[in-house]
Amino acid sequence: MRLEYKNYLGKFLFILMIFVFSNSGYSDTLNWEGAKWIWQQENGPSNTWMSFRKTITLNEIPELVDAHIAVDSKFWLWINGEMVLFEGGLSRGPSQAGDWNRKEKITPTNSWYETVNIQPYLKKGKNTIAILVWYWGRETHKGTHIDSGKGGLLFSAQIGNQKLVSDSSWKAIQHPGYDNTIEPPSKNLVQYSVKYNAQNSMNDWADSAWYTSNFNDSKWPKATEKGNAGVAPWYNLEPNIVPQLINHGLENYKNHDELQLPFKSKGQTITCKLPFNKQITPYLEIEAQAGDTIFVTTDNRLNKITATYITKAGAQEFESFSWMNGNKILYTIPEGVTVKALKYRWMSVGEMVGKFEIDDPFYNRLWWMGNNTLFVCARDNFMDCPDRERALWIGDVADQTGYLFNSMDNAGRQLLKKAILQTMSFSQDGVIGALGPLRVRELVAQSLQFIAQGIWPYYLNTGDKETLQKVYPFVYDYLALFEMQENGLPKYRIRQSPDAWDWVDWGVKETADKEPIQTAFYYLALNKAKEMAEVLGEEVHAKWYEARMQTMKPAFETVYWKDGFYSSNKENLKDDRANAIAIVSGIANPKFHNQIVDNVLIPNRFSSPHFEWMVEEAMCIAGRYEASLARMKDQYQSQVDKEDMSTLYEMFPKGGSYNHAWNGSNKILSKYIAGVEPTKVSWTEYQIMPNLVHFKQLKKVIPTVKGSINIDIKKTEDLYQLNLVSPENTAAVLGIPKTDKGIREVVVNGKLIWKKGKNRKSLKGLTYDSENEKFLKFKVEPGIWEVNASYY
């Protein structure tokens, strides 16, 4: 079987190199003829801000004009002085462009490009295209960006019969206002802080700024052509599949009125409050003498990105384009400077469309904080934190996936797709690793978790079979690396790849029971890989997964069950994480669930937030919803109580970053308390089976690929009411909770359809589904539904 699949994989990889790495899930079919990569004569240097201009004359304006733009690393686009796109581009590395040798740092990599509709900004006559490009020119051990080694801009747009391309007819100059000699802010981040001297500006933020039509660029040098599209070191061009960031515009701070603008600074630090922890670029408008220095940072102790602004004489504006994050933005402004305005710009991956409201302020605020944490940990990629390292740890991505589909719109789904394609296409020797694209750092539990709780949920929620087909061979190849032992369990995989870390969780030291954790994650990954194989018609593989699972389940009980809990060492390890993932994965014997909850999951609090949501999920799977909510409240109470906190910590009760991606309790509130989840691929069918426990009211909006699902539930001792707006091309199975009472009657859209255990009247679009000890179930077609049930 293994050899047979290796032959298959070899053929597949040959195809994949063509299909994924150059013509793939980010495929490029554009004609870049005539377009040249351009820059200044020098290839860099690092942290360079380059200004480009091109003036053209247009006789007609077509209905659609798409500009295709590629850079290393970021760009800002203006046409005729109007901002078209604030921050385009991505940290570099959609796919490999040839053979890699990470050890020797031979990493040929393809490049992203953006497509921007510029038609609304064009006019008949003269038009000025202006682009500011920021070239980072560095890499870090966190692996999020692959440096091409050369700054570059590539531009192509078909405007009616005219083709506008980047070439030596463009003007280009290194922006003199930006100091590119500053040191990197940390060893982890590829981005730099900004140090800007307005005395060297080119009228930025003024009516005659360098990006406006009336700026005189006659003394600017011509751009230097560096090569055609497709050449090294940029190689092939692949479209950014993630929608461009949402630009929320310049906004006043939450305490704007308290600032009492305008005012003359006394030299103090001015604290500006954000509504919640966001990724922002700070802005100021002042009047000053020349040579004063203004410093901008945040209240976040781990924030490394700052802005330093050196004033010119007179009235002036400035916005730092290197984003930072925090709850508060701190401006240190010298004495005597007149401060006219302080604002910020928030950029986000899509809109915050998911909603959750419940009649308990604790869980409301916890969901809000979790949602804020999700968004502040998403930009070029999903990341563990937006401050310390901004790294794509795939276990963290799997944690985010758990509640992403309850919060984010299509942009979030596409960012997850990008994470999956990048991670798999940069795998090495069968190993799926974190910190892509530059590194393949194997944390076995995270790699297995990513398969089961990242890739499979992506397919289940989106129905994107094409992506599943591309990444599935890598899934199989990784799972086949695990050797089976005579006892029926896989051999513990440790340090078997060049860049490995034997890590499963932070939490309380020396409490993690690693062997059963890895085994349970492997079982879970096998289970989800089996479902992938069945979707793709890989019957032989599906049988192989099933055979391993059937061997493992009884063996797991034999080896690890210790009369009340699972453990590899009964005397020393009674781990909530190991026992939780045993339940979540399905490898635990269901008859032991309650013992595990009582003996381990209620009394022992060893997990970090990375595993906490899985412990809470295990308790829900065991039917212990109230205990799960109680644990959730105990674990997060101290954070929720902090009024100045709006995101969640890396550790319990605090510690590490104060905005860490792996806080996943929102999944529990959505999937198990609201009871909403897809039961068929891409939400063609879903269910609402609420477990309201002590709650009386619940509202929820779920942004699915079929459209938003709107739910409003109210419950009293005698009544249950559900208002549902269900989108087109879906079927919803509605569960009316029985609680401890019998259901007297059910009225839907004003019509009695159920009374004392019997169907009464038919209703178009509604059918009886089934009944069990917990729910009476009906299936409804798309539309607006009002369900009222009364109890005995």
Residue 465 belongs to what H/E stretch? helix 465-479
Q: pLDDT at position 26, please?
A: 52
Q: pLDDT at position 5, please?
A: 42
Q: Is the pLDDT of residue 108 over 90?
A: yes
Q: Is the pLDDT of residue 149 over 80?
A: yes
Q: How confident is the model at residue 2 (pLDDT cuts 50, 70, 90)?
A: very low
Task: Tell me the mean pLDDT in the region 503-514.
Answer: 97
The lowest-confidence range among 15-29, 233-247, 733-747 is 15-29
Q: pLDDT at position 13, please?
A: 42
As a whole number, the mean pLDDT across the chain is 95
Distance CA 659, CA 670 (A): 21
Q: pLDDT at position 29, please?
A: 63
Q: Is the pLDDT of residue 9 over 80?
A: no
b/e code 421-458 from CB counts within 10 Å (16+ = b): bbbbbbbbeebbbbbbbbbbbbbbbbbbbbbbbbbbbb
Q: pLDDT at position 43, please?
A: 95
Phi and psi torsions of 561, nearest 5°: -75, 125
Q: Could you read off the pLDDT of 575-594 as tens digits, one per residue?
A: 999 999 999 999 999 999 99
What are the CA-CA distances from residue 294 to residues 176, 195, 329, 348 (Å)? 18, 10, 13, 26
Q: How many other CB atoms are there within 10 angstroms of residue 377's CB atom?
A: 29
Q: Which amino acid is located at 682 in the chain?
A: S
Asked if 690 and 737 count as a contact pair (C-beta separation under 8 A), the reply is yes
By percentage, how much of the chain surpasses pLDDT 70?
A: 96
Q: pLDDT at position 757, please?
A: 85
Helices marked H in 487-575 — which ranges?
A: 514-536, 539-560
Q: pLDDT at position 27, please?
A: 47
Residue 766 belongs to what H/E stretch? strand 766-771
Q: pLDDT at position 25, please?
A: 47
Q: pLDDT at position 69, please?
A: 98
Q: Could you read off the pLDDT of 369-390 as tens digits, one per residue?
A: 999 999 999 999 999 999 999 9
Q: pLDDT at position 8, please?
A: 41
Distance CA 186, CA 301 (A): 13
Q: Could you read off the pLDDT of 61-84 as tens digits, one per residue?
A: 999 999 999 999 999 999 999 999
Task: Tell me the mean pLDDT in the region 670-691.
Answer: 98
Asked if 22 and 29 count as a contact pair (C-beta separation under 8 A), the reply is no
Q: Which amino acid is located at 299 in the chain?
A: D
What are the CA-CA distances from residue 278 to residues 372, 537, 636, 738 (Å)? 8, 44, 21, 42
| Edge-first strand listing for the sheet containing 707-715 | 355-358, 697-704, 707-715, 719-726, 783-791, 743-748, 751-755, 758-759
The lowest-confidence range among 443-452, 605-614, 754-763 is 754-763
Task: Tell me the mean pLDDT in the region 278-300.
Answer: 98
Alpha carbon 124 to its chain centroid, in Å, reads 41
Q: What is the DSSP letter of 763?
A: B
Q: Which amino acid is located at 700 in the chain?
A: K
